Amino acid sequence: MSAPNETFLLGERLFSPEDLSSIVARVAGQIDADYQGVGESLVLLGVLKGALYFLSDLSRRIQAPHQIDLIGARSYDGTQSTGAVAITKSPDTDLTGKHVIVVEDIYDTGRTLATIEDYLRRHEARSVALCSLFAKRRGPVFPANLRYIGAEIDDRFIVGYGLDCDEAWRHLPYVAVLTSPSIADPS
């Protein structure tokens, strides 16, 4: 049987299941502190499919009452950003008047979250905050609306805990760097 993706190898493990669990607990605590008392008008909107594992764990850690929904967006082909972001699935619930926290797996160029934020403004969400499990350090600062960041990482391609490369490796319980055989240590 061939490997799921033969042109890449799993490299350094950056986050263990325990690391991920404590990141989720910290972000949940921040959200609880910020959204006390907003009741059922709080919605966690996960971005398919990469944020599924994070959304599921985060939702179970947040004590404030909330609903969950999903939105589809796609910008990557393999390890390359295509530059254009398409909304591939609309949320099922009406988000008008809701406090929405967009839950994403990783913030890279910011185009995906900008596109989703624009969608939510057009659908008249009451407030929009952005939450990303990971954020790649590309510039000196992240935008102010990226309110919750689980962990900052260097500009490397990572997989696991929902993050994929062409649909492979999402199911890993840890997060690892993806390397190309040509740059891997041959020993």
Output the furthest CA–CA distance in the chain (Å, rounded). 58
Residues found near ligand IMP in the complex (CB under 6 A): 47, 50, 75-76, 81, 85, 104-112, 157-159, 163
We find the least distance from the C-beta atom of residue 95 to ligand IMP, in angstroms, to be 19
Residue with Cβ nearer ligand IMP (116 or 125): 116
- The DSSP symbol for 141 reads -
Of the residues 57, 69, 105, 108, only one is catalytic, namely 108
Residue 154 annotated in active site: no
50 part of the interface to Mg ion, by CB under 5 A: yes
We find the least distance from the C-beta atom of residue 107 to Mg ion, in angstroms, to be 10
Angstrom distance (rounded) from CA 99 to CA 86: 23
46 part of the interface to Mg ion, by CB under 5 A: no
Which one of ligand IMP, Mg ion, none interacts with residue 76, CB within 5 to 8 A by kind? ligand IMP
Residue with Cβ nearer ligand IMP (57 or 105): 105
52: part of which helix (H) or strand (E)? Answer: helix 52-61
- Applying CB under 5 A, the residues found at the interface with Mg ion are 50, 105
